[in-house]
Structure 1
Amino acid sequence: MSTARTRGGRAGRVVVTASALVGALLLASCGDSDSGSSDGKTLRLWHYEGPDSAMGVAWNAAIKEFEATHPGVKVKFEEKGFEQIQKTAPMVLNSSDAPDLMEYNKGNATAGHLSTQGLLTDLTAEASKRGWDKELDAGVRTTSQYDADGVMGSGKWFGVPNYAEYTMVFYNKELFAEHGISAPPKTLAELTAAMDKFVADGITPLANAGAEYMAHQYLYQLALSKADRAWVDSYELYKGKTDFHDAAWTYAAETFADWVKKGYISEKSTSTKAEDAGVSFIQGKAPILFSGSWWYGRFQSEAKFDWGTFLWPDSNLTLGSGGNLWVVPKGAKNKELAYDFIDITMSKKIQNLLGNNGGVPVAADPAAITDPQSKSLIADFNTLSARDGLAFYPDWPIPGFYDVLVSETQKLMTGSAKPDAYLDALQEAYDKGAPKT
């Protein structure tokens, strides 16, 4: 995912079929003599974190630690794209080429869906034996467990998140000052006034990516600002009826469409990828980016201006959860080695490293986090966690909903669908995929 999560998306690029991708993955592995080996000498690891991201730095250190503590054992790391794994995981994991340990997206539509297909190892006993269940607080632990229907929050452990993530507003302090805007805005009215000032000065204020996750995450955040925990639980956990024409969803769709009309969001960003939006912020072109903590380490290393963050104003809820999961495929050949590697990534040494490189650790020693920006990042996460403010992600409830959100939100951006039609389309897809009660 470069260093940021490129959460799928089909518009504006050549579509590669899942069968073609899985074929490429399998061919890439067939030439490796230790592929699928069960001799206990090789741990095959797949993840998609960029090497300069907080997670990439931490996992590279974990590989060195693992090899130092397991003489004669080598880690065969294979970097995969997020979309490769997202699209092909069911086929790859149902083959003899499954890795021993893999990073995979969390939620009902992804890890939950694979768990119902019998493709993931039940980690419940290991979580108890190794103390992972005690390291993770309730909000983070939600995405580790799935019931028989693949719904998160209870049941067996099928994954272990060893970092957390949440969304925030990144802003360019220098551009704000240059255009006479006091920062950071503490209310939505102040944020709107700042965006009006940028538009008046000929600048599109919000970096956006309509071809991937970013656009519908803006919209979901707008809905969350009018929602509560019961609303989230109804939508994500099916603990009630989800009505896409309720006050929260209606406000979100109408406000998002209005923001495009007002020039806060460029209609030209309909086909933009998340990487392009992130780069526009790094290059100082976009003054504001609403996205996740997965960008934090990269912005620390690449942005050459003074920047800061704040939580979305006037909202108790924001997108976030435990991070992506370490999952052990059912067909893994070296499961004990996989469990040992997870253990190392949960160690204080690796967790502290993660925290000092722009990540949100789940088991670090707070006194060991010395970087000022990292302290701020973790403090905001603790604020969210304390008020039960992590509201997961909009594409999680049902398999395939990510693509629906991308394509329908693009229509809302171009004006080819009005808010009512947009919400109708989401309701139809959601009702079709949600468990029948």
Structure 2
Amino acid sequence: MKKGITMLLTAALFVVLAGCGNGNNGGNAGNNQASTAGNTETNAGQTNAEKPEEPKKENVTIKVFQFKVEIADALQKLAEAYEQETGVKVEVETHGGGEDYSALLKAELAAGEEPEIFNSAGWAGFDPYVDRASDLSGEAWAKDLVEASKAQISRDGKLLGMPMNLEAYGFTYNKDLFAQAGITALPQTLDELEAAAKKLQDKGITPFALTSEWWSMGIHTLNIALANHEDPATFIEDVKAGKATFKDEPVMKDWLRLVDIMFANGQKNALTTDYNTQVAEFAAGKYAIIQHGNWIQGMVDEVNPELNLGMMPVPLGAKPYTFTGVPNNWIVNNKSAHAEEAKAFLNWMVSSETGKKYIATDFKFIPAVSTIAPDTAAIGKIGGDFATFSQEHADQVKGWNWDRFPDGITQQWGSAMQEYLGKQISGDELLGKLDKAVADIVKR
């Protein structure tokens, strides 16, 4: 696990800081079915007027059932550009934020709808969809993937999805509000975090922007504890096998104190605050800290692009840590009507100049393929701060582990966290519910 995260971190830093450095932005152009219309010259020196264009396809629609609300508008514009260039219509349906994407996707499939492309997490989160996933190992872009991004979406040596991007999170914080409160050094321990929260409160600043979204608490907050185990993968397998429990684990006791500090120093209406409101109010300068990562940069910029933000590691245990991984994958559904057209769309997305621009600039992604140069200005202050920190403190970057658990567990964790946020259950009861969620799902 540690080796894999180090590889992922190294590759991510190479992409973000070195700008890929290989000048191979057109490396896949020869395999792109739809990019010739944007080029003024071919390798043979022909102009577009001299070279016959591929005929546009008519009456072909591919559906993309996707998760990331942050890119919904930009993805729709990308789909329109693809239709204009190729004649293939791309219908985008987005379900995220406060919606349970996994449940909605399963309902879609159960109803007999088979979108050409859908999103899935990796590891165990991908297990329900393995039989629908097309083998993408031979696609032109596959050889250019960041190496450590592949394992989470591979089975039996086959690459069964396209990693969407790389993301990182910790505590994103407002540097100006920290300065107003006289906080001159980032907290390294839970005691220091509690002291920093008090300084903020004393200045009339609410420290934490909280949300009641199950996925934020049941996935990202829980991962802080999972990742802080010496060997997260082994611990998780032991929990699934009934050999270990959250309730008896010392790390979980420290994690409970972290959660208590966050919940005690957040806004009063946290239980009714959804993701969009949480981010918008943080962007408006109402709160000093939010537990999200570089994926909120675009939403923040819509409110205040000048906001002075950074990413701080989360105090817990001997050192504070940030967390990085692949958030989602594009899966080509082999049971859909136009799987080959779906592959062509993904190829175009990562090889055409239009697609590259959208990924790097409009989506504000840290690319998962080395042939797309990152747009460091678009990535923004949060991702840039993470890149600097992780370069200087590679030993303080850990991975994402929630998808090692079967689907359904994190949803129950999120529900239990909501109860704890609402003071309906005690800390011990919360840990007991975390254990019960694993036992219930694994037994099935």
- Check whether TM > 0.5: yes
Cα distance in 1 for partners of 2:145, 2:72 equals 18
Task: Give the aligned residue type for 1:327.
Answer: I
1:281 positional shift? 0.1
Q: How does 1:53-132 map onto structure 2 within 5 Å?
A: 53=70, 56-57=73-74, 59-60=75-76, 62-64=78-80, 66-67=82-83, 70=86, 72-81=87-96, 83=99, 85-109=101-125, 111-115=126-130, 118=131, 120-123=132-135, 126-132=136-142
Structure 2 counterparts to residues 34-53 of structure 1, below 5 A = 41-50=60-69, 53=70
Change (3 A) 1:191 1:253: closer
Which residue of 2 is the match for residue 272 of structure 1? 273
What's the CA shift string for 1:107-166, capped at 9, x where partnerless? 424x32232xx3x2232xx3234341541321x2233125xxxxxxx6543322131222
Structure 1 match to 2:258: 255
Q: What is aligned with 2:421?
A: 413
Which residues of 2 match residues 284-299 of structure 1 at below 5 A?
Answer: 284-299=285-300
Residue 21 (structure 1) aligns with:
none
State the shift of 1:285 in Å.
0.9
Q: Which has the larger radius of gyration?
A: 2
- The 4+ residue runs of structure 1 with deviation greater than 6 A are 236-240
Equivalences for 1:163-178 in 2 at 5 Å? 163-178=165-180
1:67/1:183 Cα in 2 relative to 1: closer, same or farther (>3 Å)? farther
Q: Give the aligned partner of residue 46 of structure 2.
A: none
- Measured in 1, the distance between the counterparts of 2:330 and 2:422 equals 38
Look up the equivalent residue of 2:104 and give its one-letter code. T
Deviations 1:160-207 (A, max 9, x none): 213122213222233223333336556655443321111233433111
Give ranges in structure 2 of 5+ residues lacking alignment: 1-56
Question: Match of 2:154, as an amino acid?
Answer: Q
Change (3 A) 1:214 1:251: same
Residue 205 of structure 1: SS of its match in structure 2? strand
8 A Cα contact 1:223 1:252, kept in partner: yes
CA distance in 1, matches of 2:309, 2:348: 32
Question: Relative to structure 1, is the Cα distance of residues 339 and 218 closer, same or farther in structure 2, using a 3 angstrom cutoff?
Answer: closer
Structure 1, residues 355-411: CA drift from partner, whole Å, max 9, x if none?
A: 334322112557653417538615735838965944225475122112311221123
Is 1:137 the counterpart of 2:147? The answer is yes
Written as runs of structure 1 = structure 2, the 5 A alignment for 1:228-247 is: 228=230, 230-235=231-236, 241-244=243-246, 245-247=248-250
Distance 2:281 2:184 in 1: 22
User: Where does residue 192 of structure 1 map in the other structure?
Assistant: 194
In 2, Cα distance between the equivalents of 1:364 and 1:223? 31
Which residue does the alignment assign to 1:8? none
8 Å Cα contact 1:108-1:397 kept in structure 2: yes
1:26 equivalent in structure 2: none
What amino acid is aligned across from residue 88 of structure 2 in structure 1? V
% same residue = 20
Give me the whole-angstrom Cα distance separating, in 2, the residues matched to 1:434 and 1:77.
Answer: 33
Quote how far apart the aligned CAs of 1:65 are: 5.3
**Any residues of structure 2 matched to 1:299-314 within 5 Å, and which?**
299-303=300-304, 305-314=306-315
Contact 2:80 2:89 in 1 (8 A): no
Question: Is 1:374 equivalent to 2:404 in the alignment?
Answer: no
CA offsets per residue over residues 45-76 of structure 1, 9 Å max, x none? 232444xx45753x346435533553x32223
Matches within 5 A, 1:259-408: 259-260=262-263, 263-266=264-267, 268-303=269-304, 305-314=306-315, 315=319, 317-347=321-351, 349=353, 350-351=355-356, 353-357=358-362, 358-364=364-370, 369-371=375-377, 374=380, 377=383, 380=386, 383=390, 389-394=397-402, 397-408=405-416
Q: CA deviation at 1:100?
A: 1.3
- Please, what is the CA RMSD of the aligned residues? 3.6
Distance in 1 separating the partners of 2:249 and 2:111? 44
Larger mean Cα displacement after TM superposition, 295-304 or 38-47:
38-47
Query: 2:51 maps to what in 1?
Result: none
Residue 342 of structure 1 and its aligned partner are, at CA, apart by 1.4
Q: How many residues align?
A: 378
Is the 1:254–1:419 contact (alpha carbons within 8 Å) kept by the matching residues of 2? no
The whole-number CA distance in structure 2 between the counterparts of 1:39 and 1:387 is: 52
- Unaligned 5+ segments in structure 1 are 1-37, 147-153
8 Å Cα contact 1:43/1:75 also seen in 2: yes
Instruction: In structure 2, give the amino acid aligned to 1:122.
Output: S
Higher mean Cα deviation, 83-92 or 369-378? 369-378
- Say if 1:68 and 1:121 are closer, same or farther in 2 by CA, change over 3 A: same
